[in-house]
Structure 1
Amino acid sequence: FCFAIVNVFLEMCRYPLGMTGGQIQDEDISASSQWSESTAARFGRLDFDNGDGDGAWCPGITSETDGLKEYLQVDLRSLHFITLVGTQGRHADGMGNEFAQRYRINYSRDGSNWAGWHDRKGRQVIEGNRNAYDVVLKDLEPPIIARFVRFLPVTDHSMIVCMRVELYGCEWLDGLMSYSIPDGHQMIFRGLDVYFNDSVYDGATAERLTRGLGQLTDGTWGLDDFLHSHIYSMWPGYDYVGWNNKSFPKGYVEMIFEFDHVRNFTSMKVHCNNMYSRGVRMFRQATCYFRSGPDWEADPVTFRPTADRVSQIARFVTVPLGDRTASSIKCRFHFSDLWMLFSEVLFQLSFDLTGDDPTHKVDDSNTRILIGCLVAIIAILLTIIVIILWRQVWQKMLEKASRRMLDDELTARLAVQTQAFSSHHSSSSSDGDSTSNSTYERIFPLCADYQEPSRLIRKLPEFAQSTEHLEKTDKALANGGLEGAPHYAEADIISLQESSDSSTYSITAVNINLFAGTDSSMKEFPRHKLTFKEKLGEGQFGEVHLCEAEGMLDFLDEDLSIEGNNESPLLVAVKTLREDANKNARNDFLKEIRIMSRLRDPNIVRLLAVCVDTDPLCMITEYMENGDLNQFLYRTEPEEKEEKSMVCSRKLIRMAAQIASGMKYLSSLNFVHRDLATRNCLVGKNYTIKIADFGMSRNLYRGDYYRIQGRAVLPIRWMSWESILLGKFTMASDVWAFGVTLWEILTLCEEQPYSQLSDEQVIENTGEFFRDQGKQVYLPKPACCPDKVYNDLMLSCWRRNAKQRPSFQEIHTQLMENDKH
């Protein structure tokens, strides 16, 4: 038997369904009308141009905002779970420029009963395109289950619309067409209204819901505590559909499930809440009846789950259905307490590939072909595995044989490469890309494994440390850093599908160095007062969101010198930890909260509040209205470039002095930042600067970080030579990074540090800083930088001997003196 487990995961069910790729045939694409034969429905394929037609579907009559008569229809031939849609306008090689600014979606499972999609807050209109070129992707929250989908453009009469579309999702395997249930009830819990209605049901809604699907099939499972929701900002009880025992004299809730045709059912999985402390328990008994024709069969299947009076965790309960065949199933779920709450119902199907299946006959010849293909695939896979294993054995043998040769050659190679990029730096001409054998590589795209940085310095003959110390260094680096120094956070790449052909990436935020200390209590901020504005970044274990916090200034009981007023919401950054994060990530997150709560300085971003009563864990920090310093300076263009003089530099030096002041405070606490850069500084009113730590989570700055050995991600263009080669992070290495940050500020962030060098050459340059033979390449003096600042301050931050670099106290004093002059 082959079992089709129908368990939909929203983040995985995002495959293009065939408009772009051509799997959807022309005859399955229709429209209410067309402007001309060259703008017929079959041309409404997203990002597709075969040279025929005018490149999009255009309706014959301009759509009306209130009428919505024109539509483009796609027939998927079978039921699909649709989670995402994409739209595009018509360009036609410059001859057309029409697109739909807004649109609606209607859908049907049988082609006769149509429903209009709306989001979880009831909004039906979807924001579409702003130009004719870009593909705009929109998540359908909630997703829809349909065979037929219609796109209905919404626009004014003055604009001609054209559309190209794509649908994303996966096949709806169990064929569930509708379910019929009693409408959910309302609970009043400690004065709080909790609604258990099926708010996204797309059928007829009366005392009983009929001919539709809703929250029991939306792929979202409820939390253990039904007062909280997976969906941000929704009302208490939203994830569940629930009923009170007092409204059912017979003691059970009856549900009827209708399928597209007769199927063979193995089991049913029901996700139930079990918070018995609040009068909620999973069902006591389920009795299921089956129907393949006009009447229900007499012999039902009865199942009694094991009662759980210990754990209050919500869970799936599997009801065996005994391989019964039916096109309709009626189940009666008996109460075991005052309330019964369900959030999802799934069905498992069984298909007999060897005998007679009640739903269809399987062609024996096709079965033989299928078995033959499977055998061939298995044989190919085994061959590939043998080849891979054989190559690994030979690779290890070759590595052992060549290791001694590589040790002798690396020093010479470093000298040759250093000479090459030094001459390139001094030359005004630009050559093409040169090949390099460096052990470092840009993060995008990911490639082979990399050497640990300490192995580079082992090859340098001038490095006169003992083998024992080097082995200790290697071991410390493998764990993320030297003993006593902070380890650098490992970061994984998250792939977010932007279209069928392209992807964009984001990187996990760096957890700043944490030191041991006493806990500092933080107030719990009400989650419902946070309004999402923008996602700043996303990583393996968390996300950073830009939010508005209503009533935050009243919530805080002390003057934190925060920019804002009581009349408008405060702009904040909310760092969240995903619920599936491991124990170590969770402990690090709580530790970071404890340390951040102790930081008190006007030039350090403050931790304002937390949300840790339930998952996901959140910390709420300041976020200034002008964003990060890098983008603020880059967007600030002087009226004339000649103004990049002392007038310009004095404002910039004041900014740098504020960063030095914040770092002076951190250094007084022996706090090593490890990622100081303009991207990690925020700008407020009157050029107020505060140091933050979540720049690495932003997709905008992914090019500033480089992956080493396939694991650690480092901002090598801001790092000192000892941090790169030894993995040693200290106050002195932060001083080095400050020198690069100061250089960024005085160049108005117009270019990346060492932009003329490849990432491999930047790494090799650190070897020259170690040798200190005058061959190292320094960042050049910015045009806007006074000579005294560059020679006496900036270059001193990059001294080879860490003990000779100035302290942040000295840097701050010197910058303040320069500002006076």
Structure 2
Amino acid sequence: MHLLLLLTLQLPAAIGQIDPEHCRYALGMEDGRIRDEDLTASSQWYKTTGPQYARLNCEGGDGAWCPKEQRESTASEFLQIDLRRLTFLTLVGTQGRWGKGQGREFSQEYRLNYSRDGQLWKSWKNRLGNEVLEGNKDTYGVSSNDLKPAIIARFVRVIPVSRATTVCMRVELYGCPWEDGLISYSAPEGQLMALPGNPHISLNDSTYDGVREKRRLLGGLGQLTDGVTGLDNFLRTHQNNVWLGYDYLGWRNDTPGTQGYVEMEFVFDKRRNFTYMKVHSNNMFTRGVKIFSSVSCWFKPHLTASWEPEPVSFATILDDRNPSARYVTVPLNCRTARSIRCRFYYADVWMMFSEISFQSEDIILPTQPPMMRTSAPGDEENTMTPSPKPSNNTAAAPSNSSTSDEGNTPILIGCLVTIILLLVIIIFLILWCQCVCKVLEKAPRQIPDEEMTVRLSSCSDTIILQTPPVPPRSRHPPAGPTNTDPHYERVFLLDPQYQNPAVLRNKLPELSQSAEASACGGGYAEPDITQCTPHQSFNSNAPHYAETDIVRLQGVTGSNMYAVPALTVDSLTRKDISAAEFPRHQLIFREKLGEGQFGEVHLCEAEGLPEFLGEGSPLPDRDGRSVLVAVKQLRADATSQARNDFLKEIKIMSRLDDPNIIRLLCVCVSSDPLCMVTEYMENGDLNMFLSQREIESTLTHANNIPSVSLSDLLHMAVQISSGMRYLASLNFVHRDLATRNCLLDRRLTIKIADFGMSRNLYSSDYYRIQGRAVLPIRWMAWESILLGKFTTASDVWAFGVTLWEIFTLCKEQPYSLLSDEQVIENSGEFFRNQGRQIFLYAPPLCPPSLFELMMRCWSRNITDRPTFEGLYQALRPHVNQ
């Protein structure tokens, strides 16, 4: 009987829980359900670009919301949307300003702030801590971003982040109502678990948006309300590239101060009548984890009241046969409250929750005369005094009610007539506006030349060309020249004499000689050079960025493609592809890692891959687990040139055979879409791995904090130098070496890859040049930035930056105090060599001899930089064999 009751209580729990995959309804920006008065903004260019025009796929006014001029990428201009109720947001769609073909403004990136009360604002971050969302690439296309984790809020601010001084946006939000009404929960911080054969398992609430004080979570929401339930095995997660135990918040029963229970407090938007609380709990008893044995909950009618003395208690029926995670539904007996405090009592060593939700009904309070109203600070539910007790004279009650109804009848009729008249007026106004709009649309409207402006920034080293939205006609023409370029373009003037490579050659002959030697076999491989003539690589007509060398930096899938001499990939046919054809239906897509112009990179499971590859397979022992692979896939709309480049990349990858280089396993090219299948490491990339760890110490051991030793870091450096030594021996130039492009397996073996550029996670590491390419300028040598020269010597420079990342544990971006523009300016200082260049600081963990090696990698003259063979020989003795 008890078991039947437990199953009955658990059944509705799974149904009542919100599902982020299905909670994706448009909330009303496009169709007008979100009203104009609910849209506000920090600023606007003109009345015709106000926030009321920030509606997706709508062309009202001048076609979008446009804030005033933004001079910095961190500007705080925002569009604010009041959703009128708490909402579970899962998706955001954005557009630029189309303006009937005349718009040229859009935001390449944006951030989101949100609030549940309109006073306390929080910044949205994804599960890896990145705040920036990818915006638009043109003025008309819709860019959609999944919010993982979802946002629970009433107010949302969309904050454009752009290097252009003018941006315009149209927006739609997607989600569903947040019926729980929960606005915050407080709980002890999650703890670390150590299991034999597994790294430390972090059971913390990583997406919590409140504060952390004295090892408690206060005033926010996080993973317990994100709609993602944990798996039966808490060591597995729904997300990739996160730590073990990520989906659960967990506590150990011997934690000081726990007294055998975990106490949590839940605060709601208003008083509610609570029927059930549903707790998704892990029950993997073989690991010492069980659902709670019992729970007691106390209630507050409003925030300033005391806790009611009578709790609701509920004892669970423990299950030692089924280790499945489950919802436990706790009846709350229709108790009325604004705040609930619950104590969950341990049944074993560990207790883990992944979701908590509530079922309740709104409290309808009787209306009182104004003189009876009272208030309490911060509690809108305490605005009514209790209604007086009804009279014992039952005979008088019907008479009073009847008299009241008769007196209200004329008032009701008058209200109905007024409403009907208002509706008639509104319909007439709508029809009149539509008629006027049709007349205006027939009139030709062009942008006069005098309304195209050119703005010069206040900085002497930057020229910014912009086309703002169409303003009211000016009486005076602008003083400057007009801009007819359909795109923004930024030109960074280091110095007029440094813009022309021919001037560079005349000013510094040794630069010309060293670069030409590199291109013509002088020790470093120059990409895409078939034959060399004097001064061939210094075309006097080349732009500031040598497009001939840079454009191919971004491969078909958006990732880097190794640069090799052109003769090695000429005349490519299908017969040149030696990789085996893998059955396409055995690839199970799990996650999109990134995308480029013509291709995508997916994380997949490959069924039967070890058997397909046979003996000598490069795959590590998976202990019966599925094989994770990275699949680069060409899009159906790819050009013939992109298709040819994709096959070239396959041929290049098939030549690579080194323990520290990612390997091509197989291909799917017998039919479209073309795919290449490469290794993927279960520990993700080195940047993410190190950023989640601390240097090994007695403190990390005592507190079970994930850590790495100095020996581990040196071993990583040696492996990267070994892989790059192999590439250099083949005259391959990587051009994007960084920790984000180094993957790790569970044994800390590193394999150099090329996925970094395609992943949104690392979009801030790349500087975008309009219409050309994306450049990892913080890792690039000065000659690569200024002249577009990519050689093995420039890879050595990037290796020095990668070493710096390793010994800072990837806690910050290189040159984090410099903007992208200042990084480019600093490359000019390296060229000038007048002692004003800025170097990266020496990391505290880095031995002095190793930092000297980094400084050699950043030598101004490429002949002074070490080779990868020399780097490998210098680093190897430091590793404990």
TM-score (norm 1): 0.49
TM-score (norm 2): 0.46
